[in-house]
Amino acid sequence: MTSLLDKAAGAPRALTHRELAEVLTWPDTEALYAAAYAVKCREIGRRVSFRGLIEFGNACCKDCYYCGIRKSNGKVRRYRMDADEIVREAEWAHKAGYGSVVLQSGELTGEANASFVEDVLKRIHGFGGDEFGVTISLGEQPEETYRRWREAGAHRYLLRIETSNPQLYAKLHPADHSWERRRDCLRALRRCGYQVGSGVMSGLPGQTADDLASDIEFFASEDLDMIGMGPYIPHADTPLGKDAPWTPELRRERLELGLRMIAATRLYLHDVNIAAATALQALADDGRERGLLAGANVIMPNVTETRYRSDYQLYAGKPCLNENSGLCRGCLERRVGAIGETILWNRRGDSPHWGKR
Ligand code: SAM
């Protein structure tokens, strides 16, 4: 039995589709996580990179059926920080030694948005220079906009494909949302010279182990540098979440599935950056540490000012709503230290896979 985990650990992309599905459903979770963690330690070391996450706005032109900040959710109080606030939070992260930030918001398009972001990026690059990592996660944009933002100082981009199965994607989104357009955006980002990250949600209604194995193969075929994925968690004010059952048992299963995806992705891709998503922490207090022990190597502590945090709720039970950035930093440092991992302070923490290009 164990030989399949050994085979996966021995070389990247060594498994067939069927074998990958078998690894994903491996009965002994501890053996699965341990095999993935060993690959992570070999490829990356017992090290974690931190990215300060700034959720700078929740206005969104998209209407994804699962997402709490979807355009049609009238209960959300919409906000957008001004440029000074965003830059201040990025400076805080820089001084805190995080080495990089992630700027994320709902999806907005148009020239005003493009130049607003461009200005913010130039200001962050002004104090952080090339040594400070800047990841952005701002949805689908024209290639020209991606290029402008790259030239203004962003060098990593996260755009989850959500699921590699176009039929499942169509069930989770309105008809004017296009799986192919999203995939093409990933390719445009590559052409613009970004380190490209994508990912999926696990535990979506109708999703199978076969789909999840295909998701990981999609990460490989798109030659991604970074993977950011997490369990799907229902939000009561969304079409998909409003009647969804949500029991302690389901939460446990969803957490396990999230960890299984991290482990199988590490075992298949070996040298990419993999984030232990905040959604894991929404399911268990120690969810992110468990993500690290299943093969992840990146954590994104929230550095958004406390007063905005409750307005950026993608799913139920978002953690750390009432904490400030300083508390989050101290708490994480303790937690990561307790599992014997070293934090890469003041380092960009680029994907080793990208470094080998
Ligand atoms: N607008 C950008 C985009 O579309 O990539 C970034 C923000 S978007 C809210 C970030 C991610 O949140 C999505 O890609 C999706 O995977 C995740 N998300 C949304 N609703 C979720 C839910 N109910 N459970 C778990 N993750 C969710």
What's the token pair of residue 152? Answer: 């203004």
Residue 330: predicted pLDDT: 87
Cβ neighbours, 10 Å, residue 309: 18
Q: What is the average per-residue pLDDT within 312-328?
A: 88
Residue partners of 51: CB distance under 8 A and separation at least 6: 98, 99, 100, 101, 102, 133, 135, 298, 299, 300, 301, 349
Helix (H, G, I), strand (E, B), or coil: what is residue 152?
coil
Q: Cα separation of 24 and 200, whole Å?
A: 15
Predicted pLDDT of residue 320: 85
**What pLDDT was estimated at residue 298?**
98
Which domains, and CATH codes, for the chain?
2-356 (3.20.20.70)
Per-residue pLDDT at 322: 85
What integer best gives the mean pLDDT of the chain?
A: 96
Query: What pLDDT, on a 0 to 100 scale, did the predictor assign at position 328?
Result: 85
Task: Using the mean position of ligand 1's atoms as its centre, give its distance from the Cα of residue 230 in Å.
Answer: 9
Tens digits of per-residue pLDDT, 193-210? 999 999 999 999 999 999
319: CA distance to ligand 1 center in Å? 15
Atom number in ligand 1 closest to CA 315: 23
Q: What does the block give as tokens for 48?
A: 């974690």
From the number of C-beta atoms within 10 Å of its C-beta (0-12, 13-18, 19+), residue 282 rates as buried
Distance 5 CA to ligand 1 centre (A): 31
279 lines ligand 1 (CB under 6 A): yes
> Residue 313: which pLDDT band, with cuts at 50, 70 and 90?
very high
Query: Residue 316: its pLDDT value, please?
Result: 86
- When pLDDT is averaged across residues 220-234 and rounded to a whole number, the result is 97
Q: Is the CB of 254 under 6 A from ligand 1?
A: no
Q: What is the pLDDT of residue 2?
A: 63
- Mutation test of ligand 1: which of 61, 160, 251 has the most ligand atoms closer than 8 Å to its C-beta? 160
Q: Determine if ligand 1 sits within 6 Å of the CB of residue 66.
A: yes
Q: What pLDDT shows up at residue 286?
A: 94
Please say whether the beta carbons of 199 and 3 come within 8 A: no
Mean pLDDT of 101-113: 98
For ligand 1, pick from 157, 314, 315, 318 the residue to mutate: most ligand atoms within 8 Å of CB.
Answer: 314
Residue whose token pair is 């002994």:
28
Which tens digit of pLDDT belongs to each residue from 253-282?
A: 999 999 999 999 999 999 999 999 999 999
pLDDT digits (tens, 9 = 90+) for 39-71: 999 999 999 999 999 999 999 999 999 999 999
